[in-house]
């Protein structure tokens, strides 16, 4: 069994991060210092039935429902799909590419309204796949058993996404960067489809779609080769592989330190947990509490990134038996990083975390 080193190694951002503010030195992790997992009641929380009136402005309406803003390419992509199919923009790409526009797009389609949900948290759970962390918001979905989907990925809920990424939920937590905007994503999907297509008629339709894409994207000023928006260098790849960025202060040497266990050690340790044998989990709990104690020490010293990395590791392990701990430690990490909307998204997701392809709250 892997031991825990004496001190977590400190990591300081090698280059100054201009776009990310330094952590507030005076902020301490004094709240919720219990090292015990959250109780079922704490986990469930207040899933309030009160739905506020939707703003008339569609951008504000989406932000109210999903707690994050959508970038311009999101709305322009909807217009592009509307030009392909006025009756059903959401399904405009389905016949050729097997993709449908989902998530926040359902607000634009008039499908996702206050009348179609029971609680505000339903919006946050809408089209959120099993391994989607709060940083990822699904907007394209393939209707197959692999649960392949594409979504915006952002480091901070108050900032725009840094890229679009894909995940195959049936295979695990790995998140793969795809492109910097939806038009570049579609360009890649068309290229893949053309390579695999053997039907002349379908090839002709794909080329026609590609022509329309090039014309529309050029008119709107979108690059089909854009890989990513400007992003500070991640402190760690995180378990999902998409990277994790937190505010760091190179002068104060605060913001992030390595986990007390390496990724390999953490994976071996978490692999021992069971979602069925809780007696076995109790045996492992003492070691888990050691790591939690180290996270609290890091929080007290303003290295809030360690707590987030720990939370993401537990989340990516896929063990539902760890949901209570994920909810407690994740909420604390996001609060300390001033990313409270992500905490709310996380807890809403954990209350209804599905391993099935049907992750729409619309049924």
Query: Do 44 and 78 have their domain in common?
Result: no
Query: Do 266 and 311 have their domain in common?
Result: yes
pLDDT, tens digit, 9 for 90 and up, residues 189-223: 999 999 999 999 999 999 999 999 999 999 999 99
Q: What is residue 105's predicted lDDT score, i.e. its pLDDT?
A: 99
Please give the biggest Cα pair distance in the chain: 65
Give the integer Cα–Cα distance in Å for 34 and 280. Answer: 22
Q: What is residue 4's predicted lDDT score, i.e. its pLDDT?
A: 39
Q: What is residue 143's predicted lDDT score, i.e. its pLDDT?
A: 76
Query: 166, 197, 220: which is the final residue of a domain?
Result: 220
For residue 45 the two structure tokens come to: 């929380």
What is the average pLDDT across 92-107? Answer: 98
Query: Do 237 and 216 have their domain in common?
Result: no
pLDDT, tens digit, 9 for 90 and up, residues 130-188: 999 999 999 999 978 899 999 999 999 999 999 999 999 999 999 999 999 999 999 99
Query: Do 152 and 257 have their domain in common?
Result: no
User: Residues of the chain with pLDDT > 70: what percent?
Assistant: 87
In the chain, DSSP finds a helix count (H) and a strand count (E) of 13, 5
Task: Band the pLDDT of 27: cuts 50, 70, 90.
Answer: low
Query: Do 110 and 168 have their domain in common?
Result: yes
Q: Is residue 320 part of a domain?
A: yes
| Structural domain boundaries enclosing 262 | 40-48+233-351
Q: Is residue 72 part of a domain?
A: yes
Domain count, the chain: 2
Residue 301 designated active-site: yes
For residue 314 the two structure tokens come to: 């537990």
Query: Do 239 and 346 have their domain in common?
Result: yes
Give ∠ CA 204-201-147 in degrees, rounded to 5.
85
For residue 212 the two structure tokens come to: 């329309």
pTM of this structure = 0.87
Measured between alpha carbons, how far is residue 293 from residues 37, 253, 307 in Å?
A: 12, 20, 10
Q: Is residue 75 part of a domain?
A: yes
Q: Is residue 12 part of a domain?
A: no
pLDDT, tens digit, 9 for 90 and up, residues 32-74: 443 443 333 335 545 557 899 999 999 999 999 999 999 999 9
Query: Do 204 and 254 have their domain in common?
Result: no
Q: Is residue 151 part of a domain?
A: yes
Query: 220, 243, 263: which is the final residue of a domain?
Result: 220
What is the average pLDDT across 109-136? Answer: 97
Query: Do 110 and 134 have their domain in common?
Result: yes
Query: Do 195 and 262 have their domain in common?
Result: no
For residue 4 the two structure tokens come to: 């825990």
Q: Is residue 135 part of a domain?
A: yes
Give the integer Cα–Cα distance in Å for 141 and 127. Answer: 9
CB 150 within 8 A of CB 163: no
For residue 103 the two structure tokens come to: 């998530």
Indicate the SS3 state at residue 166: strand
Is the predicted pLDDT of residue 282 greater than 80, yes or no? no
Point out the catalytic residue in the list 135, 189, 226, 301.
301
């Amino acid at each position: 069994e892997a031991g825990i080193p004496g001190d977590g190694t400190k990591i300081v951002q090698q280059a100054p991060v201009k776009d990310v503010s330094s952590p507030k030195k005076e902020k301490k992790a004094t709240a919720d210092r219990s090292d015990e997992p959250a109780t079922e009641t704490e986990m469930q929380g207040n899933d309030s039935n009160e739905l506020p009136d939707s703003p008339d402005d569609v951008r504000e309406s989406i932000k109210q429902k999903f707690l994050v803003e959508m970038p311009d390419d999101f709305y322009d992509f909807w217009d592009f799909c509307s030009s392909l199919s006025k009756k059903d923009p959401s399904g405009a790409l389905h016949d050729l590419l097997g993709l449908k526009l989902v998530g926040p797009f359902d607000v634009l389609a008039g499908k996702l309204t206050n009348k179609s949900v029971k609680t505000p948290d339903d919006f946050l759970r809408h089209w959120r796949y099993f391994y989607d962390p709060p940083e990822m918001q699904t907007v394209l979905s393939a209707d197959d058993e692999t649960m392949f989907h594409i979504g915006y990925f952002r480091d901070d809920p108050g900032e725009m996404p840094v890229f679009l990424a894909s995940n195959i939920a049936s295979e695990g937590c790995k998140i793969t960067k795809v492109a910097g905007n939806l038009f570049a994503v579609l360009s890649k999907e068309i290229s893949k489809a053309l390579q695999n297509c053997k039907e002349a008629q379908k090839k002709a339709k794909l080329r026609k779609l590609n022509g329309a894409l090039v014309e529309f994207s050029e008119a709107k000023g979108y690059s089909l080769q854009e890989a990513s928006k400007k992003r500070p260098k991640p402190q760690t790849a995180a378990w999902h592989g998409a990277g994790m960025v937190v505010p760091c202060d190179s002068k104060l040497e605060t913001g992030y330190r390595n986990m007390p266990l390496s990724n390999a050690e953490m994976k071996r340790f978490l692999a021992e947990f069971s979602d069925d044998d809780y007696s076995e989990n109790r045996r492992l709990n003492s070691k888990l509490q050691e790591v939690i104690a180290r996270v609290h020490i890091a929080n007290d010293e303003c290295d809030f990134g360690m707590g987030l990395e720990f939370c993401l590791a537990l989340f990516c392990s896929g063990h539902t038996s760890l949901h209570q701990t994920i909810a407690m430690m994740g909420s604390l990490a996001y609060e300390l990083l001033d990313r409270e909307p992500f905490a709310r998204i996380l807890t809403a997701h954990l209350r209804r975390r599905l391993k099935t392809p049907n992750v729409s709250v619309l049924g």
